[in-house]
């Protein structure tokens, strides 16, 4: 009887298998799929990171930032242009602003002129960093927050030029906790090594809530600017809180650079909630890593680290395998997102929100 029915069920089973293959990627598809890492830092003449990207079918966006340990901004621009000239179809760059001459009454006008020059050189937007809100102070000694009126001409110019504003404002909520209470290991490591940014040690600095509120007021003031909140918009600790902002601000997207561990930590407790969030907001989530290269590094080490990072993240998003990573204590299960969601997160959303020149 069963043998007699096999010819009737075989097409159905075969069809289900084909449908399954069409809906999901596997680990083996990693190399085949076009992908963009929208958050890297190329502070080196070495092309090792781009080479890793080419070998892994990744296009890259390098981000200039006003970080004390980074090269001066003019040097960052030079290095970005050098990388772009060597690999014009595989990398683009964001420039940035500096508040160093804030007290100059013509500061905004001069910054706009400098930013305009970087746009002419090929920058597809700018990034602002957490030194807004955590480092720079105005003439009254108050911290310069993201919604400070003197910053508005900069943002108006970026919007008028149809460029993208990426913003790393505030820090993970862990930043306001003692090291032993932080939820992920990479935060513990970073804030142990950078106590100047560990806000638990600086109670007189603006609070986490003040950082987020200032960013939200900026979004409300500029509803038409293309805004990418770096590092899950500093709302990495709870996808429900991030969802509230995505619902409230249609011009907001977020990258996942250096914060995927927070999604994995939440996956340990409620995988379905994280998976449902990724699917619901699939048009607003952008893949990024925060990978960097500086000085004169060992190119093979850079390439191996990049590839292992990219492949580990791919495994989390495309499979439902049980995983462990150094950032999170304990195992968790991959999300196994549908192909169309993966394509948006890894490629189409970056094209929409950053509008890079490569294709």
pTM exceeds 0.75, yes or no? yes
pLDDT exceeds 50 at position 161: yes
31: its two tokens: 């190399």
Structural domains in the chain plus CATH codes: 28-354 (3.20.20.140)
Cα–Cα distances in Å, from 119 out to 25, 210, 247, 279, 297?
Answer: 37, 31, 31, 34, 29
Max CA-CA distance within the chain? Answer: 90
Q: Could you say which DSSP state residue 28 is in? A: G
Quick: pLDDT tens for 53-86.
999 999 999 999 999 999 999 999 999 999 999 9
Q: Which residues contact 343 (CB under 8 A, 6 or more apart)?
A: 33
pLDDT at 346: 98
54: its two tokens: 């080419």
Quick: pLDDT tens for 166-218.
999 999 999 999 999 999 999 999 999 999 999 999 999 999 999 999 999 99
What average pLDDT is seen over the chain? 95
pLDDT exceeds 70 at position 2: no
State the average pLDDT over residues 284-303: 98
**Cα distance between residue 95 and residue 80, in whole Å:** 9
Bridging pattern class, strands 58-63 and 285-286: unpaired
Q: Could you say which DSSP state residue 137 is in? A: B
187: its two tokens: 């935060």
3-state secondary structure of 91: strand
pLDDT exceeds 80 at position 338: yes
pLDDT at 9: 54
Q: Which residues contact 23 (CB under 8 A, 6 or more apart)?
A: 338, 339
Q: Where are the alpha helices (DSSP H) in 224-337?
A: 230-233, 239-248, 260-280, 299-318
pLDDT at 358: 82
pLDDT at 34: 97
Of all residues in the chain, what percent carry a pLDDT higher than 70?
A: 94
pLDDT exceeds 60 at position 97: yes
pLDDT at 11: 53
**Which is higher by pLDDT, 69 or 359?**
69
Residue 197, sorted as left (phi over 0), alpha (psi -120 to 50) or beta, turns out to be alpha
* pLDDT band of 14, cuts 50, 70, 90: very low
* pLDDT band of 3, cuts 50, 70, 90: low
pLDDT exceeds 60 at position 134: yes
pLDDT at 7: 60
Q: Which residues contact 260 (CB under 8 A, 6 or more apart)?
A: 313, 316, 327
State the average pLDDT over residues 92-116: 97
* pLDDT band of 317, cuts 50, 70, 90: very high
3-state secondary structure of 62: strand
State the average pLDDT over residues 345-356: 98
State the average pLDDT over residues 257-264: 98
* pLDDT band of 21, cuts 50, 70, 90: low
Helix/strand/coil percentages in the chain, nearest 5: 50, 15, 35
């Amino acid at each position: 009887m069963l043998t007699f029915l096999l010819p009737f069920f075989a097409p159905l089973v075969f069809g289900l298998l084909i449908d399954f293959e069409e809906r999901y990627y596997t680990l083996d598809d990693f190399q085949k799929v076009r992908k963009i890492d929208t958050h890297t830092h190329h502070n080196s003449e070495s092309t090792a990171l781009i080479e890793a990207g080419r070998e892994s079918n990744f296009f890259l966006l390098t981000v200039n930032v006003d970080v004390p340990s980074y090269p001066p901004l003019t040097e960052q621009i030079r290095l970005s242009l050098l990388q772009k000239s060597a690999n014009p179809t595989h990398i683009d760059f964001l420039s940035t602003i500096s508040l160093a001459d804030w007290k100059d009454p013509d500061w905004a006008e001069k910054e706009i002129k400098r930013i305009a020059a970087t746009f002419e050189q090929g920058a597809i937007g700018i990034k602002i960093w957490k030194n807004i809100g955590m480092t720079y102070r105005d003439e009254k000694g108050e911290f310069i927050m993201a919604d400070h009126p003197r910053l508005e001409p900069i943002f108006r110019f970026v919007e008028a030029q149809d460029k993208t504003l990426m913003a790393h404002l505030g820090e993970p909520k862990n930043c306001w906790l003692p090291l032993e209470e932080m939820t992920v290991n990479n935060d513990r490591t970073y804030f142990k090594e950078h106590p100047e940014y560990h806000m638990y040690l600086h109670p007189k600095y603006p609070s986490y809530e003040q950082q987020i509120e200032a960013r939200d007021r900026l979004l409300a003031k500029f509803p038409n600017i293309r805004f990418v909140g770096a590092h899950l918009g500093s709302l990495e600790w709870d996808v429900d809180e991030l969802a509230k902002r995505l619902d409230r601000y249609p011009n907001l997207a977020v990258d996942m650079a250096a914060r995927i561990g927070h999604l994995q930590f939440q996956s340990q407790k409620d995988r379905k909630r994280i998976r449902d969030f990724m699917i619901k907001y699939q048009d607003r989530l952008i893949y990024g890593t925060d990978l960097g290269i500086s000085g004169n590094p060992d190119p093979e080490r850079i390439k191996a680290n990049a590839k292992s990072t990219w492949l580990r993240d791919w495994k989390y998003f495309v499979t439902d395998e049980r995983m462990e990573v150094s950032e999170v204590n304990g195992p968790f299960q991959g999300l196994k997102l549908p192909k169309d969601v993966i394509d948006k997160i890894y490629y189409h959303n970056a094209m929409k929100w950053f509008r890079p020149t490569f294709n």
